[in-house]
Amino acid sequence: MNIEYSVGIPVRNEEKTIVKNIESILVQTISPSEIHVCVNGSTDHTYNKVADMASTEHKIHLIKSIPGKSNAWNKIVSECITNYVMFCDGDVTLNPQAAENILNEFEENKRLILIGGANAYFSAQNNTIFSKYFTENLKGKPIKQDWVCGRLYMIKLNELYNLAKKCEIELMPRDIINEDGLLELITAGHRKIIDSAYNLSIQVATFHDWKIGFKRVLAGQKQLKQRYPQYFGDSDFSIKRMKNYFRRFNEIDELSKKMGVTSLLVLRTMLNIYYKLFSGLDYSTTWKETKSTKECVE
């Protein structure tokens, strides 16, 4: 296979994970032509960690942008020398064959513009109810993910911009909450998620992490529906969508047994509360991650 690709990693305050993240990219079975690490608004030692690695590895290019994942995304694509660009978050590791398997899929299906990797939510550090459940029940099983996640995906850049232009959608809006949600909207009919490219969380996810992540998804869904109603379908990302999420992992019955009926009812109530909290959200603010771009700031 003679396809070159770049890697883009938007990072903010990832000093504890960024080294392992980049190391997992450097050992890909098909090596990238370049790795752009864009530090956007970090207040820790992320920049210095990457600078140390860049001093001994010529493929690593350290760049900066103003805070916000969309700003980092735009900065990265402006620096890339290849049409194929693989994005991943700075707090995950990738399986060594991730890039190769994605590129093979692109070769087999020319209509695809975006191919995403699956989120493998399991960890050796199973000291929370979430990581313990996923470690014990999902490892080695088909993930069956069908949505785009910023943790891992690859795009054909020129084709993506052409498709966005046809849809009269700007890439990438500075104030967009979920850049991966916008990409999912644009690439309908031209995307695929594969299990053979997957990412693992370096740090154990806590309930607080899940809560923040879900609130961000809800806000992003509402923003997309308001801004692009002609392309956006069902925006009901409350308990009905959450149950479908669990079904994708084909584990809803086992989850019920482990958590119990009472726990599920509590979870449902909390999710509905989160949904109502965002019914009047003001989207004039800029959204950036608590880890990479998820904290809402003025």
Instruction: Calculate the alpha carbon distances from 211 to 130, 174, 203, 253 in Å.
Output: 12, 24, 16, 22
DSSP reduced 3-state for 10? strand
Instruction: Say how many domains are in the chain.
Output: 1
Q: Supply the range of the domain harboring residue 213.
A: 5-297
Determine how β-strand 92-94 pairs with β-strand 286-288.
unpaired
- Residue 224: predicted pLDDT: 85
Contacts of 11 (CB under 8 A, 6+ apart): 18, 37, 38, 39, 40, 42, 46, 50, 72, 89, 90, 292
Cα separation of 167 and 284, whole Å? 23
28-37, 205-214, 257-266: lowest mean pLDDT where? 257-266
DSSP line for 205-228: PPHHHHHHHHHHHHHHHHHHHHH-
- For residue 239, the model assigns a pLDDT of 43
Instruction: Identify which of 100, 90, 206, 192 has the alpha carbon closest to the alpha carbon of residue 145.
Output: 192
Res. 256 pLDDT band, cuts 50 70 90: low
Residue 284, pLDDT > 50, answer no
Q: Strand, coil or helix: what is 94?
A: strand
CATH at 262 = 3.90.550.10
Tens digits of per-residue pLDDT, 187-196?
Answer: 988 999 998 8
The string over 62-94, giving b where at least 16 C-beta atoms fall within 10 Å of a residue's C-beta and e elsewhere, is bbebebbbbbbbbbbbeebebebbbbbbbbbbb
DSSP SS3 for 136? helix
Q: What is the pLDDT of residues 95-129, one digit of tens each?
A: 999 999 999 999 999 999 999 998 775 554 545 44
pLDDT at 203 over 80: no
Which tokens go with 216? 């961000």
- Checking if the pLDDT of 297 tops 50, the result is no
Does this model's pTM top 0.85? My answer is: no
Q: What is the pLDDT of residue 61?
A: 97
pLDDT over 90, % of the chain: 47
Q: Are 185 and 231 in contact (CB under 8 A)?
A: yes
pLDDT digits (tens, 9 = 90+) for 147-189: 888 999 999 999 999 999 998 888 999 999 989 989 988 998 8
